[in-house]
Amino acid sequence: MLVPQFTILYVANPTRSALFYRELFGREPVEESPTFAMFVFDSGARLALWSSATVEPAVTQTAGAMELAFALPDDDAVDRLSAEWLARGLPLIQAPTKMEFGYTCMALDPDGHRLRLYCPAPELR
């Protein structure tokens, strides 16, 4: 059985993106170079940032075709973190709102990758 090992985001400037995610996650990357950075989390999840100018084969899509989703324990946490992100200058492209799967909002990273905060609806917890 195949199990994904990590997520790779193609970015214009890995150094800039590593700084953004370092501040967002409150942790240092385990690997960092001018063309690549990787974060490893206690859960085993990994997020890699690879220069879109050096990835092979070349990238043909732009950011925004996928999202990183962060589950939170309650609606107040979504409101609190989205307000923090807005204060830090992250563009919110979806204000906190109720949807069929729960309470959610969405921001963008410096390359336009979607960052979703959500608290699952009670029936989905």
Name the β-bridge partners of 33.
Answer: 36
Residues 6+ apart with CB under 8 A from 122: none
Cβ-based neighbour number of residue 114 at 10 Å = 17
CATH number for position 40: 3.30.720.120
What's the pLDDT score for residue 48? 97
CATH number for position 86: 3.10.180.10
Smallest Cα–Cα separation from 7: which of 52, 39, 55?
39
Same domain, 47 and 96: no
Tell me the whole-structure pTM to 2 decimals.
0.89
State the Cα–Cα distance between residues 36 and 73, nearest whole angstrom: 32
Per-residue pLDDT of the chain (125 residues; tens, 9 = 90+): 777 889 999 999 999 999 999 999 999 999 999 999 999 999 999 999 999 999 999 988 888 888 999 999 999 999 999 999 999 999 999 999 999 999 999 999 999 999 999 999 988 77
Residue 120 lies in domain? 67-124
**CA distances (Å), 11 to each of 20, 37, 110, in order?**
12, 10, 9
Two structure tokens written together for 49: 């940032």
Neighbours of 84 (CB within 10 A): 11
d(CA 61, CA 1): 28
Please count the structural domains in the chain: 2
**pLDDT confidence of residue 8:** 95
